[in-house]
Amino acid sequence: MFRFENMSQKAVVLLSGGLDSSVTAYIAHDMGYNLAALSIDYNQAHVRELDSARKIAQHLNVLDHKIISLDLSLFGGSALLTSTNTQIPTKISIDSIGKKIPPTYVPARNTIFLSLALAYAETIQADAIFIGVTAADYSGYPDCRPAFIEAFQTLANIATKKTIEHNLISIKTPIISDSKRIIIQKGQALQVPFQDTWSCYQGKEKACGECETCLLRLKGFNEASLPDPLPYETYPKWYKVH
Amino acid sequence: MFRFENMSQKAVVLLSGGLDSSVTAYIAHDMGYNLAALSIDYNQAHVRELDSARKIAQHLNVLDHKIISLDLSLFGGSALLTSTNTQIPTKISIDSIGKKIPPTYVPARNTIFLSLALAYAETIQADAIFIGVTAADYSGYPDCRPAFIEAFQTLANIATKKTIEHNLISIKTPIISDSKRIIIQKGQALQVPFQDTWSCYQGKEKACGECETCLLRLKGFNEASLPDPLPYETYPKWYKVH
């Protein structure tokens, strides 16, 4: 018998509120998944990204949105955590990005986030986890690469009651090979409300326009010939306002 | 040149305060590691195990002991979490343990805990992570098996800045093949203060003597011909008080 409800599978999406995870959530939604969103309050300097996560989750009318607190600043080791004295680098050159792992790297972040998503997916019997990692325009983070995702998939297959009973949880990375331009174009096609996403690591009222994530985002909008609707403190010289 | 200080390596030990993790911590200490302990307050029903973790950490004079809060009861899905209506099974037969995954299974728990230990190990530049999983007398948990640990090691090798720069973080499981009897005998040899460990899932004033972890613990002491110094509400019929 044909059962319509079986066509719609459940998935957990890791939703930071940034551009990449928001576009990823829209892609998952467009693929027909019923989404449960998971955000993590880890004492990131740009905690305001969680307001964006809430807005995107609301736009997508997700089944549930869990925001879990996990104070990674207890460990330290990153400029992105509130506990640190290391500054988030600004006034950097766009060409220097991706050459080495920057101080905004957070130890084992995606390993931790995927583990939490795995727990959530198992609990709600979801078939997939969506994560908006991108290895193309990537900022040098080791846990954004395809090899890392493959290793996590291998682990997940044997790590839980659900998966060892052969109900696998598939790790989906729909934008992993995409440049920021392509991600923005995909988001545009799916009507992602870019004004409700947040990328800037500084997390102030306006985006700084100087940190690595602002630069990558603005470069992407530039190359997609689209305006970034977010307000910026300053724009890099090469940015053309469309 | 021979440098004495290089002989002492740093390790993170996942310390729940239970028998297995406490013996594991003593083994790591005996191996000459400088230990940093990590405990997780995940809204477990037996949160009092964390008091035991504090005592063991203090006995071992660890470099640091971090207790991180991560409310896994937000996801639910386990009798071991305070949010659930599922009861921790008691009055079970010792022979039924290990036949199937029990309701005390916590989704993806060791994946999450190892991920957190990985972040901590990277931050303090530790060379190893010790975890007291045991697959012999095991309670049917998928994330206590050697294959799971191997898959996590493969993941860890490529997941962090430290490990991709070839300073590997080795996952050590010194009691993974040991029965509870052997674990207790190893603990006895290392003078583990068993009275300061805690196993019972119920987490009341006395150990219940009826849940799966009490039964496994008492069976182990029985087989080791040693008395368990913890106070129990009740003892199973087969328990010989030594």
Please tell me which of A82-86, A129-133, B203-207 the model is most confident about, judged by mean pLDDT: A129-133
Q: Which pLDDT score, from 0 to 100, does residue B2 have?
A: 41
Cβ burial of A99 (10 Å; 0-12, 13-18, 19+) is exposed
What tens digit of pLDDT does each residue of B55-113 get? 999 999 999 999 999 999 999 888 888 776 678 888 788 887 777 888 888 999 999 99
Q: Which pLDDT score, from 0 to 100, does residue A102 have?
A: 83
Query: Which residues does chain B have within 8 Å of residue A106's beta carbon, measured at their own beta carbons?
Result: 119
CA distance B154 to B207: 38
What tens digit of pLDDT does each residue of A208-230 get? 999 999 999 999 999 999 999 99
Residues 6+ away with beta carbon under 8 Å from B177: B134, B135, B136
Token pair recorded at residue B139: 């309670």
Minimal Cβ distance to B155: which of A76, A111, A118: A111
Q: Is the Cα dihedral B212, B217, B222, B227 positive or negative?
A: negative
- B242 pLDDT higher than 80: no
Helix (H, G, I), strand (E, B) or coil at B158: helix
A155 and B148: CB-CB below 8 Å?
A: yes
Under the banding of pLDDT at 50, 70 and 90, the label for residue A242 is low
Q: Could you tell me how far CA B230 lies from the centroid of its own chain?
A: 17
Helix (H, G, I), strand (E, B) or coil at A232: strand
Domain B4-223: give its CATH superfamily. HUPs (3.40.50.620)
CA distances from B128 to A20, A165, A231, B17, B28 (A): 33, 31, 45, 19, 10
- CB of B194 less than 8 A from some CB of A: no
Q: Which pLDDT score, from 0 to 100, does residue A229 have?
A: 97
Q: Please tell me the class of the A4-89+105-205 domain.
A: alpha beta
Half-sphere exposure of B180 (CA within 13 A, CB side): 21
Q: How many CB atoms lie within 10 A of CB A162?
A: 22
What tens digit of pLDDT does each residue of A177-220 get? 999 999 999 999 999 999 999 999 998 999 999 999 999 999 99
- CB of A33 less than 8 A from some CB of B: no
Q: What is the mean pLDDT of residues A20-44?
A: 97
- B138 pLDDT higher than 80: no
B118 and A108: CB-CB below 8 Å?
A: yes
What tens digit of pLDDT does each residue of A104-142 get? 889 999 999 999 999 999 999 999 999 999 987 556 789
Q: Which pLDDT score, from 0 to 100, does residue B139 have?
A: 60
Minimal Cβ distance to A107: which of B71, B106, B123: B123
Q: Which pLDDT score, from 0 to 100, does residue B40 have?
A: 97
A122 and B116: CB-CB below 8 Å?
A: no
Minimal Cβ distance to B154: which of A118, A120, A154: A154
Under the banding of pLDDT at 50, 70 and 90, the label for residue B6 is very low
Opening angle at CA B201, ends B196 and B205, nearest 5: 55
Minimal Cβ distance to B105: which of A70, A114, A161: A161
B84 vs B148: which has the higher pLDDT:
B148
- A94 pLDDT higher than 50: yes
Query: How close A74 comes to chain B (CA, Å)?
Result: 8
Query: Which residues does chain B have within 8 Å of residue A167's beta carbon, measured at their own beta carbons?
Result: none
B38 membership: H or E segment, kind and range: strand B34-41
B177 vs B101: which has the higher pLDDT:
B177
Residues 6+ away with beta carbon under 8 Å from B237: none
Strand partners, A12: A36, A129
Give ipTM to 2 decimals.
0.92
Strand partners, B68: B40
- CB of A115 less than 8 A from some CB of B: yes
Q: What is the pTM of this model?
A: 0.93
B108 and A122: CB-CB below 8 Å?
A: yes
What tens digit of pLDDT does each residue of A140-173 get? 789 999 999 999 999 999 999 999 888 999 999 9
- What residue has token string 């901590």? B120
